[in-house]
Amino acid sequence: MPELETLLLECPSCSILIDVKIQDCKDGREFQCPICGEMVCFEIPEEQLERTINEVIRRQQAELKRAFRLSFGDV
């Protein structure tokens, strides 16, 4: 499993990407979205954590490719 400390997850209210600590996901902590102000909680059970991290990494790579197409040779 890749060693990450944070994940970029989408706010369910405003759909902005938020940098969330993995430990906060494990503990199920609630925090305020910095954009819309809604309270959000990303609770990820320990047994699903590795799969979720892999999904997030794939999604982040796809977003980077979409945002910076020329850097990846996609025209």
User: What's the pTM?
Assistant: 0.65
Tens of pLDDT, residues 42-72: 888 888 988 988 888 888 888 888 888 776 6
Map out the domains of the chain as residue ranges: 6-72
Tens of pLDDT, residues 32-49: 999 999 999 988 888 898
Q: How far apart are the first and last CA of the chain?
A: 32
